[in-house]
Amino acid sequence: MAAVIVSAVRTAVATARRGSLVDVPTEVLARHILSAAIDRSRLAPELIDDVIFAESLYGGGAVARHAAVEAGIVNAGGMALNRHCAGSLSAIAVAAGSIMAGMDRAIVAGGVHSSSFMPMLAWRTPGSDDYSDTRFPPTHPNEPEAPNDDMTITVGWSAAQAAGLSREEQDEWALRSHQRAVAATDAGRLAEEIAPIRVQRRDGTEFDFAVDEHPRRDTSMERLGSLKVIHPEIDGFSITAGNSSGINDAAAALMVVDESVARAEGLEIMARVRGWCSVGVPPRDTGISVIRVVPKLLGRTGVAQSDIAIWEINEAFASVPLATCRALGIDEEIVNVSGSGCSIGHPIAASGARMVTSLIYELRRRGGGLGVAAMCAGGGQAGSLMIEV
């Protein structure tokens, strides 16, 4: 059994809490992207076995099943998956694994995330009847060197320290990310992977949201250099808002099917899933976890690093892909060729599927080849996925 991708689509990425999707709930984004993935695949909805959507800091439930019912796909189940930032990479992997095992024929896999609608959670304090509100569950606790509620230290700064990166090097990476995202947008390269969503403004007017709004055209090394570091009390701290990822809203989904189904139904095969894996590391090493997951993925698939045509390494912070490239000897020119977290943004549970979608379209433009998406994830882990176009 072979798992192939017959559609890949995402929404444009919005800036959270003040952007175009500020009043579009998570479940509406999920329904929209599920319908878009089905429509683009041309697969009969009754052939879909399951829907697997990653969600992070959403508050529980199973948005995938809700979206399936709302989209009229009542015959398909719905699974919620959480691996924090790497959740939608794992959703694709779980879908591919089930298909390759012969248990399912067609699964829509992806992720949805709205920081604009991230709920507050009430947790009872053990030994009392008192409740406290927080956005973070107790299964993801703070540690002295890895504060859960401050990823600038746990991820960004830890990676910068481990790789000996300067503030200037991180700002240069972030600037290039914005420049690449703007260039890709202007050239129309991202339009084909985006499914516009109709949005109603608070004044009642409507518009189609179809272009990533987080990339900054006006940024420069001077502007980035003028930003204050987030923790000036920490000697040498180099993480700023400029070399960090955005806080964003978006959704992305892919239709993963058995190759025999694709051929029988006359569907266009966009890519094949070649392999996937994850790793765990001490939480303080989250920012350099990709350095471990990439060799593991290459070893499992038997593919040489030099055979990878392009890479997507999520810019949770600029220090993460920069540290990874330095440690593994990856050519920076073929990493995040149309931007990433610093520019396009990082809608947490949707980022992995967004990255794989971008990989597919870019590889198709280049005539095919192998692509890898890899990213660190909260709690001290990393996920990765390899595709072939």
What residues contact residue 96 under an 8 Å CB cut-off, 6+ apart? 3, 256, 273, 276
Residue 330: Cβ within 10 Å count: 19
Close Cβ partners of 17 (under 8 Å, ≥ 6 residues apart): 115, 116, 247
One-letter amino acid at 321 equals P
Which is the catalytic residue, given 32, 66, 113, 346? 346
Q: Report which residue type is found at 339.
A: G
Q: Extract the tokens encoding 314.
A: 């999520």
d(CA 262, CA 196): 26
* Residue 327 CB-half CA count within 13 A: 22
- The residue among 42, 25, 5 whose CA lies nearest residue 251 is 25
Distance (Å, whole) CA 117 – CA 136: 14
H-assigned helices in 204-253: 221-226
**Cβ–Cβ under 8 Å, residues 203 and 23:** no
**Nearest CA among 209, 231, 164 for reference residue 14:** 209
Cα–Cα distance, 154 to 151 (Å, whole number):
5
Catalytic residue list contains 376: yes
Residue of 66, 84, 85, 178 with catalytic role? 85
The verdict on whether 325 is a catalytic residue reads: no
- Judge whether 178 counts as a catalytic residue: no
Catalytic residues: 85, 346, 376
